[in-house]
Amino acid sequence: MEERIEEYTYEEEMKESFRDYAVSVMVGRALPDVRDGFKPVHRRVLYAMKTLGILPDTPYKKSARIVGEIIGKYHPHGDAAAYDTMVRLAQDFRLNVPLVDGHGNFGSIDGDAAAAMRYTEARLALAAMELLADLDKNVVDFRDNYDGTEREPVVLPAKFPQLLVNGSIGIAVGMRSNIPPHNFGEAVEAFLLYLNNPDAPLEELLEVMPGPDFPTGGLLTNPKEFREFYRSGEAKAVIRSKIEIESASYGKTNVVITEIPYPLAGNKAKLVADLTQLVVERKLNEVTDVRDESSKDGIRIVLEVKKGTDIPKFLTKLYSLTKVEVNESYQFLAIVDGRPVQLGLKEYFRLYLDFQKELTRRKYRYLYEKGLERKEILDGLMAAVNEIDAIIEAIRGSSSIAQMKRCLMNGETNGIQFRLKKNEKVAKGFRFTERQARAILDMKLQRLGRLEVEALQKEREQLEKELEKARKILEDDRELVKEIRKEHQKIKNAYAVPRRTLLQEMKQIRYTETKKEEDVWVSVDRLGYCRLLDGDLAEPPADAVYAYHTKDNDRLVVFTNQGNVHQVKLSAVPKTKKKEKGTTLHALAKLERGEYPVYVTVKSGLSGREFLFVTRFGLCKRTKGDQLVFSRLKMAATGLQDGDELVFVRESSENEQLVLVTKRGYMGRLRTGLFPVQTRPAKGVQSLALKADDEIEQAFLWVEGKKSEISVNGITISASDIPEVRRGSTGKRVG
């Protein structure tokens, strides 16, 4: 065999492999098919239940048995994926039209998980049959399952726009699909409008289906803006809870949440917990109590509000600070011909109509072919009734079934004993087809009765009508569309329900809290514990390394060894008493592993000042405090070389001197004016010239005339005795 070596670069192989993986995730797991609106796992759950015969009119079957069927035959993944999908298909707070009828604990809108699969039971819901009907009529293609032992449908023959009605959510590699659910009656009616006039403007379709309809109800407060979803396939929805205002005792008011935003479906308990936490943190200080009085009759979350509260202002605050109002982004992304496509409403209806035409054609082609076969049999049976005496005598006189069939099909009478010559003569004229001959031989004698013969005649007449109908549908596109319209109208009448979600244009008002500023002390001790104290105190705690008297709307500014500067809102620092320990800076500033504070100040102390930075490698610079004023909670305060870190930061002025001491005992005094004022990203200039294995160990600022001492290698030295040097000098060594 000739040796063949193909060379690939690592880059090419990675690119190709990742592309293949991304496509397999999109098509095989993450995104819905535009035709039936399902991902493979949903399709397999429903098909497995149908093959098990767990229909709406049959008893429930254990979920564990169903899951075993799903993963054993169709879905080669964990049982949790199959069971979670089945549970979701049964939850009426997630789907407008549940497709599984669950019996037992199938989870709740609060967020309670479903019971284990060994405890619950399920069967197909009635609406699911509209997605599984006609599978036996060759309406869709089938393919081998994962091990080639079973067959499964490539797509389900959906008889309603399931992708619109129940929506879908899926995250693929580098893309996301999030399609909101819509009202069943409105979605089908909009499709029928498109069916009647494919050139109808989008606005006309949106008069029938003006927006999404969530199972949890609520209000869509930006329906005009959301219309962009139906044009381009992408838009933001602002979904608000439904709220009722009730009078309570002692002049109080109850703000009652009766419906929650759809993104919180299955998360109501967390909403209640978050509301309670905000009350505890005094961010909703108008509320005296939070109660969840929800029951089987519906949601009822009660916020008891203080007497005299401005309710409209409080509601604005509630919408801004809590998930009572939610912003959700939606993308109309689905698989079309094996690739992801972002769709508008009209494009979706065009693809859905093409699918419905294909289903209907294949169904009636199948019925037409089967009808012709049945007509052939009926013609044979009716002809046989007229010649029944000759047929019976031929059968009685034959020695084998093969001989009987040859007589019926070809008129061969050789070897067959006839008692009457006229019957033999009739038999020689038999020219039945093989299918007719088989039906005649299988026919029971009771079919020879007069009533049975009349029944055959009626069946044939009815069959002629059905064949004519099928022929028209297959040959005339207008008849095809008429049939699709009739089917969808029938389904709409069966499943349409009133709209749950109100569409009401409302302006989004962001709440901004205005409160009186208060004086506070903020201090940090040598162990890194931060305390926020009453501003009326005469002095900060004695153990404070950093202490600032400021306003409570200020921010703590933390410079770290990694060259970052973090901000902490003082409103986020718990207020403590003087002798209490406080909270660690590490937790407040969310410092990373290996990161620690080098200097701490407050934001109000940055503007109009200069700050001196010193790194372990001896690089120094001055930076204007205005460059360190920012709104984010974290940013880089200085550039650093690889392996370098910040060791010293202080507010400085040109009349100060920087005292530096290295690990090997070299020291020097440099005027701060020697260091240029640089921007934040700059790394600074060299101060002392360091040996290969040396680094800055100590740094502090000294003002001439001020007494200051330093300990180096066990020797105490006055700052005034340290020699003043220029940049680039090695300094004087001690010890």
Q: What is the pLDDT of residues 380-412, one digit of tens each?
A: 888 888 888 888 888 888 878 888 888 888 888
pLDDT given for residue 714 in this prediction? 67
H or E element in which residue 348 lies: helix 345-386
31-158 has which CATH code? 3.90.199.10
Most confident of 398-412, 469-483, 631-645: 469-483
Tens-digit pLDDT profile for residues 13-46: 776 666 656 555 555 578 999 999 999 999 999 9
**In 387-449, which ranges are continuous DSSP H helix?**
388-397, 401-410, 421-427, 434-442
CA 556/CA 263 separation, integer angstroms: 35
- Confidence grade of residue 448 (pLDDT, cut at 50, 70, 90): low
pLDDT given for residue 380 in this prediction? 85
> Which of 144-148, 170-174, 564-568, 610-614 is predicted least confidently?
170-174
Q: pTM of the prediction?
A: 0.71
Q: How many CB atoms lie within 10 A of CB 489?
A: 13
CA angle 58, 59, 64 (to 5 degrees): 120
For residues 240 and 442, which has the higher predicted lDDT (pLDDT)? 240
At residue 38, φ and ψ (nearest 5 deg) are -115, 150
Report percent pLDDT > 90 for the chain.
61
- Confidence grade of residue 640 (pLDDT, cut at 50, 70, 90): very high
The closest of 215, 392, 244, 230 to 311, measured between CA atoms, is 244
CA 290/CA 304 separation, integer angstroms: 6
pLDDT given for residue 283 in this prediction? 86
pLDDT given for residue 319 in this prediction? 92
CA 534/CA 520 separation, integer angstroms: 5
Please list, residue by residue across 166-197, b when 16 or more beta carbons sit within 10 angstroms of its beta carbon and e when fewer do. Answer: bbbbbebeebebbbbbbbbbbbbbbbebbbee
CA 341/CA 148 separation, integer angstroms: 30
Tens-digit pLDDT profile for residues 242-275: 999 998 887 888 999 999 999 999 999 999 999 9
CB 17 within 8 A of CB 102: no
Residue 704, CA distances (Å) to 91, 596, 674 in order: 77, 31, 16
Task: CATH number for 353-495: choose from 1.10.10.410, 3.20.20.80, 3.40.309.10, 1.10.268.10.
Answer: 1.10.268.10
CB 382 within 8 A of CB 376: no
242-323 has which CATH code? 3.30.1360.40
For the chain, residues classed under CATH 2.120.10.90 are 606-625+635-734
Residue 676, CA distances (Å) to 446, 500, 515, 701 in order: 113, 66, 42, 17
455-463 — which CB contacts under 8 Å span 24+ positions?
Answer: 456/378, 456/381, 456/382, 456/385, 457/382, 459/378, 460/375, 460/378, 460/379, 460/382, 463/371, 463/374, 463/375, 463/378
For the chain, residues classed under CATH 3.90.199.10 are 31-158
Mean pLDDT of 103-122: 95
Whether 520 has a pLDDT exceeding 70, the answer reads yes
Cα dihedral value 435, 362, 152, 67, nearest 10:
-110
Mean pLDDT of 431-447: 83
CA 395/CA 383 separation, integer angstroms: 16
Mean pLDDT of 509-533: 81
Task: CATH number for 606-625+635-734: choose from 3.40.640.10, 1.10.10.350, 2.120.10.90, 2.70.70.10.
Answer: 2.120.10.90
Q: Please confirm, yes or no, whether 495 is among the known catalytic residues.
A: no
Q: What is the mean pLDDT of the chain?
A: 90
3-state helix, strand, coil in the chain (%, to 5): 40, 25, 40
Give Cβ neighbours of residue 590 (< 8 Å, ≥ 6 apart). 566, 633, 634
Tens-digit pLDDT profile for residues 81-107: 999 999 999 999 999 999 999 999 999
pLDDT given for residue 213 in this prediction? 97
Q: How many CB atoms lie within 10 A of CB 264?
A: 21
pLDDT given for residue 325 in this prediction? 94
Mean pLDDT of 269-295: 91
User: What is the identity of the amino acid at 172?
Assistant: A
- Among candidate residues 21, 119, 146, 511, the one labeled active-site is 119
Whether 146 has a pLDDT exceeding 80, the answer reads yes
- Rg over alpha carbons for the chain, rounded to the nearest Å, is 41
Tens-digit pLDDT profile for residues 580-634: 888 899 989 999 999 999 999 999 889 889 999 999 999 999 999 999 988 888 9
pLDDT given for residue 509 in this prediction? 65
At residue 512, φ and ψ (nearest 5 deg) are -120, 120
Whether 514 has a pLDDT exceeding 80, the answer reads no
The closest of 41, 270, 80 to 168, measured between CA atoms, is 41
Whether 440 has a pLDDT exceeding 60, the answer reads yes
For the chain, residues classed under CATH 3.30.1360.40 are 242-323
